Structure 1
Amino acid sequence: MRTTYAVSFTTEPCSQQQRITVIDIVSDWLLDNFPSDKRPAGTFVRTREGTDDPVFRLSIDESPPGGSHTRSFTVTIVYINGSLTFDLRSVLIPTSNRIAPSRSTDLPQALIVQLVARVLQEVTVYDANHQLVVRSSIATTSLQGNTFGAFVDAPSRRLPVLVEVTDYERTSAPLFRDGAGPLSGLAHIVILNTPEALRGFNELTGDTILGPGSIRVYWAGRADPFTLLLRETTSSSFKAERDRLVRVVIETGALALASPRVPPPPRDDFEDFEEFEEDLDHDTTADALTSIPSELFAAQNATIDEYERNIVDLQAQIADADRMIGEQRTKLERKSGQVDQLILRNVDLETSAGTTAGIKAVASMKEALRLAQENFTFLTFHENALESGEQLEGPEPFAVLQDLRRLNEVARAWMSKEISGTSFQLACRSVGLDYAAHVSDNSRQKYEQDYAITWQERRVLAEAHIRRGKKAHLFRIHIYLDDNTQQVVVAYIGRHLRGKHSSS
């Protein structure tokens, strides 16, 4: 498990309303970037939140397709005694047993940077009496240069200061003119824009290396600064050098910033306290009263930390497994689509050849109806047709699909007004369909309800039908031709309806 990005800052005093506002910012960010109904396979989200809980924690685990790591983002907001700590970190958790370079980038995603910047706009954070902001601080006078020089030397400073001197001799634009960017919350950005500002800065720091077209990162403490001399590089490599500098600061922060101490969730019942209370009844010395609770809390915190590490590992494994399931499901759906195309191609070939179905590629009527609904777009399937079709047994489903394919071609011609209602029968027969426009008078008089459907809030009769097969392989497809909407409505698929003895 490797921390690749970490930003942590504390603001005090902070009101309860500001705490709620920061939590709302994080919640809105989650909704915008990880909506529950659009999370891809391998993405898990969990939160810790409660009215009496001083801790709000959001964890997001992502296992990208083909990746060897699971990335876990954790946002923690701790509010205790009017002090608010905001902590965001990204951790890579290996999920492979192979040794190979990770393909993940060390630069934070733009959505992470946006969240940090949004929080810093809401709360005021000071570092050695200097406000931490997202924008760059510009110095143009000697006094301003003195001020930032004193800030660099402040012993209480905890964040690095990135100082860029504009190459004013060549009138080139500074690299960090647009602000901290991916270093938001991680560093103070200062731009010395004039020779006067540079002289004032060097007077306080005694720096002799810093000059026009250079950048120095002054770490907190006594560490040697990191220096980048832009004049020694070509303008085409400025972006690459900037990214390298940003990567150095981010990697340093990820290794240096400790996770905030988080109290355990509120509990209604502590069994351990009851045990200690029994012990205290027998030992009421001052040492017992002071040492036992601290030992208890230390043990509880260590146990909770261990549990949370285990949860992160387990969630990473779950996310990776979910990602693999999603990949396999996608492959199956792709193969299923290829099979569908092969079946429909075979339908077309046999239809063109005028042969009957000779394969059993369609396993059931349910499958045949699914293929028909998805691909025969000029037919409208009434719910009655789907219900009766799924119950049909005996006829080969492929034969039903073949007839529906032919009927779809006729429906296309009718909807485009290439044919009229009077020539519908001729068009059906031209593609090999045995079509009858009406049922017999006997069937209509005795069994009218068998042919009736509700269509567009009207009761209509679906008398027109396609005839196919004999005996056990006999079936009928009844349709209704809506002259108003030019739709061919498939109303019934199944056995011969009542009135078989008549000339239907």
Structure 2
Amino acid sequence: MQFVYAAHVPVAPRPGSDMTPDEGFRSVVAGWAKGRLGIQIDDWRAGQAEGRNAQAQWVTLDGDAGRLRRLEVSHTDPAGPWSWRIVTWLGEASGSSWLRIRIGLDPKVDGIVMDPNISVGAPRFIQALGEQFTLTIDGRELGSWWQVSESGVRSYVQFLESPERRLPVVAITRQPSTPAPVAPEQLARRLAGIAHVAAVEPAATYGVSDAITPTRSVFGGAVRLYWPGFRRDSRPYSHPLFMPSGRYLHSDSFVDDLAARLGRSAGLFLGPPQLEGELRREEVLRGAEEARRKQEERQQRQQEAKEKAAGGLSAEEFEIFSRDFEAEAARRAELEERVAELELSLEEERELRIRQESAHREAWQSLAGGASDSTVSIAAVEPPHEREPETVREAVEIAASRCPDLVFTQSAYESADESQFGSPKDVLRDLLLLQDVAQQWASGTMGGDFRTAFDGRHSNFRSGISQTAATQYGNDYTVSYNGTTVQMGPHLCRGGVGAPPTILRIYWYKDDATKKLVVGHVGRKLRDESNPN
């Protein structure tokens, strides 16, 4: 069984509605089963039925722990050698209601490895329930999306970093003059129950980058996935970034792949609800108690029969009572053994859940950057630093991971994306040199000024920009940093004239307060008197 979708959704009545979640669930799900599969559900207490290439069984469990309705449907898929299994629960406990769904594939053949090539999303009956009830996860309504403007950056970042967040966040961005690569409303409907969707406006991406650093932010038409447990010091590679190169982000394949990845992750972390095990245990215990009561009644009748036998009861009547007593005693012993097995199974399940929850927490912490550098499984996710970059953007990303005394702004990544410079390894070499000089400056071991530090190591260091560049083209050299704007000046040069692939400029701002060099541009030569265009 491969689970490809799972969701756990709290359910609450909408204001002014008299319909209970239980009434809505029975109405909507029964209508879906009949219309979609031809399965008729009349009595929700327990039953089973067959429909159009489909089978279903359902049961209602009641007890001190709460109430649970469970429906399991299996139906064959005419498009492939597998069948679908959909299990849905409506639970009521401690005054609240929730819905849980798991969708899986059962292969009809053994030993064949193939790509199912399926499209998975939230079942249609969830949308129908959402029209009648309030379905929320992490305080956000199911299937909705929100637009992050400049004024909403703070609350958005707080949501990303919230330790209580249960679902991933898919952040979509766009260029100022173009639409997003994927429509947020379409993606939100497809990922309902397994991820939140946020569309970050271009102007807001700068504030987000300032808050969580550009290496962990997303901008310029890219899409990023933030797993639960994200922090501003998390490993960037643990939260996948999808770049806007090519047509992939604009295709249905991207949405399908993302839904499949998130659906499988949800299926791994959401199993059968614990309430079901508790209610089944109560059911067995009630059966054992009823058997005990009946046995006591039979013992009483047998005792009366013995006494009566002494006064003339026939041997045949006494034999009948004896057989009944022995049969009931055997049934009680069987039930008591079953209860003991269930109690052992529940205890083992409880211990397993505790271990799983602990492992899950450690896994999320590792994925979010909480693991030490010695963690082999997580360290393997991050590309080895020894590799040579293939693009200017990759050179900046590698440098950002290796240069603690440099700060790379969002504009540094944007300029790197646009750069046509033909030797990314030289870009990385210059950035590593800049880190070495920055470390000397921060530690007070430079032994002179920046020109002295670069002397003999790089022939094209410039300590500032011209007066014309600073006044006439000042906006080109201004970047957003720590919630304010600063003007870059010092820079390294490669190439002076010629085609763009031969020209590189790395501009930075010197932050005297933090002793950091703030890199704001890695790419083409910015405008000045010799380069007015």
So what's the TM-score if we normalise by structure 2? Answer: 0.46
Of the two, which has the highest radius of gyration? 1
So what's the TM-score if we normalise by structure 1? Answer: 0.49
